[in-house]
Structure formats: C-alpha cells, structure tokens
Chain A
Amino acid sequence: MAATAPVPAPAPAPPAAAPAQSPTAAPATPAPNTTPAAAPPPPAAPAPPPPAAPLSAALSGPFPGGRVVRLHPVVLASIVDSFERRNEGAARVIGTLLGTVDKHSVEVTNCFSVPHNESEDEVAVDMEFAKNMYELHKKVSPSEIILGWYATGHDITEHSVLIHEYYSREAHNPIHLTVDTSLQNSRMSIKAYVSAPMGVPGKTMGVMFTPLTVKYVYYDTERIGVDLIMKTCFSPNRVIGLSSDLQQVGSASARIQDTLTMVLQYAEDVLSGKVAADNTVGRFLMDLINQVPKITPEDFETMLNSNINDLLMVTYLANLTQSQIALNEKLLSL
C-alpha cells in the first residue's frame, strides 16, 4: 500500500507524485499538499532531473524496452468507446492493456475494460473479471501479455496508485496510460507513465509516475482504415459510405495534387526569398524529381499499350465468363 507524496521532507527536488485531488482523500494535512500540487502533473516537470540520477538508472534497468510505448489506434478507439459506455455516476473507466514486449519497445495492441467502483474513500476493481477476460483473449492471440492498464481522466489520482499496485502483480513494471476524455485545454491528451518508488528510505515510501514517450504505430492496412474512418470528421452527421473504384483513384490523386501544390508553393517561396532554403528539403526534392523515370517516348508507348491491352483483354474475358454462366443458367432452367 503506497502512501502519497506529502510525507517526504525534501519536497522541491523530486517531481510531484500522484497529488491527491481532494484534500479529504489525503491522509495528511492540507499544508504539505500544496507543495506537490503546485508542481504541475509529472510531464511538465523535467523527467530525469540530475538530482534523481539513481532514479533514471532504475528506469532504464527494469523497464523493458526503453522508454517508448508504441500504441495502435484500435486501443485508443476501444478506450474512448468504453468511456462512452460507462455506468451512471462513474467518472472514469479503467481497463487492461495487452500487447507485446520486445527489446526495443513495448507495443500495445489490444485492451479491454474492467468494471470498477470508485468513491472518495475506496476503490474496488473486479479482478476476477480481468483474469477471465485475459484468458479469453489469450485464446485468440496467445502472444499478447498484460502490459499495464489505462484510465480515462485528466490526472493520476490516489486510487490509481492502488490500482497500479494490483497490476504490478500481474505484469512486470506495468505501464499506466491516461486518456483525457474530459478534454482539458481542448485537447485529448494521451500520456503513458511507468512507476518508480521514491522517497526517503526508512520513512514512508511514495510512488512516482514518470512519463514515457508515446508513439503511434500502424499496420499498413490500419493506416488505410484510419484514413477512411477519419473522413467522418468532415461529414455533417458523422457518416460516410464506402466509395467505388474510380472515385478512390480520383481522391488519391487529389491528395497527391494537394501535396504537390504545397511543395510548389514552398519552392516558389524559397526562390522569391520569403523562406530560407533548407538543404535537406532540397535534397528530398531532388530525389523526387529524379524518381520520374526517363523513358524514350516510343518505349513508353509500347509499355503503355501492352499494359492497356492486357487489361482490356482481361476485362473482355471476365465479361465473356459472366455471359457464359448467365447462358448456362438460362439453359438449365429450360
């Protein structure tokens, strides 16, 4: 049972840990509460400050895979969806994160929500449920392991510490992910933390949550799926249909056209002196121009014609086959 920050005397040096939101929840008096509360939530404080050198060593050691968390979009969508379906009166939802660990990173690929009850004094998590769900999920993807847990909401509360305790029994050095669905600062901030013990040895120990970098990774098909889903942001009733073949080619080429206009604009700005020239961008542009292959017109004509002929022939064959089976059908029903 980890207590919160107020107790340790050297308050200024270590970043604030799990500042209690409501004064009544904290076991200590309000006065020491203000010092950690004054220090903004962990991300703002310098993450590995020089005086906390032993802490950074502790981080890179036990935490598997460095300090980068790779997140798939399906996890975020699941979290938001379970938040929308929360019970009456629940301020936030929590759940388990599943994924894989490898030497260089931790990849979160799946998650499920866990019912829990939270009041001012206590928190109850349905651990049986969590175990069951994990078993079921393991049947489908046996390579996924419990990586940590997520919570919606803006900050890390005292209860989070308790829940984190529970998850440390399930996973080695669990990750805590917060998704700010209350949209503070008009942004949905998504942050990940890992915990480390801190405090004065001998006295009450505290827990510190240090932030990790979150990277978003996609499979190729996921990227395409996300691109499509994103279109609902632009439509009035948030509904889109799936488009047909030529429309897709049209929209893809429209996208390329837009990017090309941007590049052209940039080149013109550089030429007219409005923007300082950047060598790396220049090199990329050079590569781009050189990518258009130089072919003699006759060769290109032959290539183009043969390709078009192939496609036309296949279309003809497909049509022929279709008419053939239609004919067959008619004959059989005579």
Chain B
Amino acid sequence: MASRKEGSGGAGSSFGASKGKGKAAATGDSAVKQVQIDGLVVLKIIKHYQEEGQGNEVVQGVLLGLVVDDRLEITNCFPFPQHTEDDADFDEVQYQMEMMRSLRHVNIDHLHVGWYQSTYYGSFVTRALLDSQFSYQHAIEESVVLIYDPIKTAQGSLSLKAYRLTPKLMEVCKEKDFSPEALKKANIAYENMFEEVPIVIKNSYLINVMLWELEKKSAVADRHELLSLASSNHLGKSLQLLMDRVDEMSQDIVKYNTYLRNVSKQQQQKHQYQQRRQQENIQRQSRGEAPLPEEDINKLFKPPQPPPRMESLLIAGQINTYCQNIKEFNAQNLGKLFMAQALQDYNN
C-alpha cells in the first residue's frame, strides 16, 4: 500500500518525472522495453469503449502510471470525453488537470505516461495519431499509445498493443521536414515508424482474490466466439479498408511520378536553355559582340515543389498493419477449418 506512494511522490507537476531519461539518452535505445498494465486498466478501457464508442468513432483516454527501470507500469487511466460541437466552452486541459488533481487526493499515480485509443479494424496509423504521439513523446520520454481493438476482442481474444515512435522518426518530426531527401537521409521505411512494445498484465494479490470470488459467484457461461467459423464478414470489411488504402497509395504514387517527370522535364529544359545560350554566345563572339549576360537559371525555371512524403509513409504503414492483421486472422481461421475437417472426418 505504501509502496505505491513513492512513485507519485516525486514531481509536483504531472509532466515531470522522466526518470529514465538520462539513461535512455545515453544508450540511444528506446527508453521502454516492456509495458506492464494493471488488470484494472484493461477493464476500464473495455468499459469505456463499450459505453461510449459505437461505430467508427474512436474513444480516447489518458494513461497514468510510473516508470520503473526500463519498464513502464500503467496503473490507472481515465477516459476523455468525446468532442461535441455544442461543447464549445469545454476545456480539455482543464478537465485533465482537474482529474489528475482529484486522483492525487486518493493516492492514485497522477503521472501522465501515455494515452489510449480504440481503433476500427486496425486503422490507426494516421497523421493525427502521429502528431499526438510525437507531442507526448517529446514531453515525456517514455510515453506509449495503447491501441485497443474492440472488434478483434469481441471475436475472442483481447487485442491491446502498445506503440511508440522510433527515435529516428522522432528526429524527423522534430525537424518537420518531410521532403523526400530528408527522409532518405534519415533512412526511414514504413517498418521503422512505430515500434511495438510487449505488454504484460499484472495483478496484485488482492485483485486475484477478488477475481476468484467473481469466478465462484458469477454464473455466466463460457463464451466460445474464438472458435466460431464465420469469417467472411470480418474479412470482407478488412479487405474493403485495405482496398481504399491501396487506392490512396496509388494516387500518391501517381503524384510522385508526375513530380519526378516534371523535374526531369525541367532538367532537360534547363539543359537546352544552357546549350542555346552557349551557342548564341559563340555566335556573338564570332561576330565580335558582347556575350549575353548570364542569367540566373533558377529564376527562369522554378523547380517544382517536392510532395511531402509523410502521407505516403503513413499509408504504407497502415497497409502494412492491415496486411499483418489479415494474415493473423487467416492463420487462425485456417487452423479452425482444419479442426472442423478433422471433426467431420471422425464423424463419418
């Protein structure tokens, strides 16, 4: 009981205690190797989505906890109200401050260590997420974003993943330079945008006792959605989303191609212009006149703007996530189908 206090006793402000900062900066490695979540947090996230987020809306909330060595312990969380238009005077920051202050009164860790978000079929790699996570990680070294997939969870197994931005991506975001050259320099591919941090769930002894008690008292039947063979619905929707993304990707590629073509056309034009200039100059010299002044080529031929590459990186990352999810889902279903086959063979 008293041990929980020492974590929260330190910094006065909520954004203070990045204890691991010194060590992490020295090694250049990621500051967090593992995320440890309390069972309570899992239940709260599930409940929040269940009650507030039906449909495509995402629900978000704040994670509270502390950092121990290279482990991030998440001990509590609270939800964020959704943005509504008629709540113009609602101050998010104030809500957060008030909540944390109140929680501090009851000895709950009030250190802000990250945030969570629900996702629809795995589509969370967006610009908004990147920006939010960047600002979080900039302020607090060890923060993570927990992505909770309610649809996958409803299919039988809890789907909770923790992500952080890689240090390379952090650098790029700091520069705010998303042109192709900068990204090439930083050597970022869509795979090293986010890194996934392994999660473990930990409960205290008393919570274990409570869970045993629940088990005895509650007569809810075991649910076996995990073994259901109906997959086409989920697969259809995932593929639809994948197709949309691939379309976006192809559009992006077309844009980039046109840019490249413009650049090469411009190069040619410049070359031609220079050649003509030289020829004219030779002619003039042969005629004994002064050569034409050298004009600034760049002013004549304005170089086209390179399209920002961040969008395509994000789309590529998203497509990657979709494909991963689909493959996992398929692997499960193949297993189930083979089991059904074995069962049927046995029957015959």
Contact = CB atoms under 8 A, between A and B. Distances in A.
B217 interface: yes
B342 to A, nearest CB: 11
Given A141-B52, A239-B36, A319-B323, A220 B154 contact: yes
B316 A249 contact: no
Contact of A253 (B211, B339, B341, B344): B339
Interface in A289-307: 292, 295, 297, 300, 304, 307
Contacts of A115: 105-106
Contacts of A45: none
Given A77-B210, A325-B190, A248 B157 contact: yes
Contacts of A241: 198-201
A115 B345 CA distance: 63
B108 A85 contact: yes
A72 interface: yes
A297 B348 contact: yes
Contact of B344 (A259, A295, A307): A295
A122 B29 CA distance: 55
Contacts of A317: 239
A297 B301 CA distance: 73
A333 B44 CA distance: 44
Contact of A219 (B44, B47, B76, B242): B47
Contacts of A332: 180, 184, 256, 309, 312
A314 B52 CA distance: 33
Given A221-B154, A325-B249, 6 more contacts: A82-B106, A232-B201, A249-B335, A259-B222, A321-B242, A321-B323
Interface of A: 72-74, 76-78, 80-88, 109-110, 112-115, 126, 129, 132-133, 136, 139-141, 179, 181, 183, 187-188, 190, 214-216, 218-226, 228-230, 232-233, 238-246, 248-249, 252-253, 255-256, 259, 292, 295, 297, 300, 304, 307-308, 310-312, 314-315, 317-319, 321-322, 325-326, 328-329, 332-333
29 contacts: A74-B46, A77-B210, A80-B206, A84-B4, A85-B4, A85-B107, A140-B52, A188-B213, A216-B220, A218-B220, A223-B220, A224-B153, A224-B157, A229-B43, A232-B202, A232-B208, A239-B36, A240-B201, A244-B328, A245-B332, A252-B227, A295-B344, A307-B333, A312-B330, A314-B235, A325-B249, A328-B253, A332-B184, A332-B309
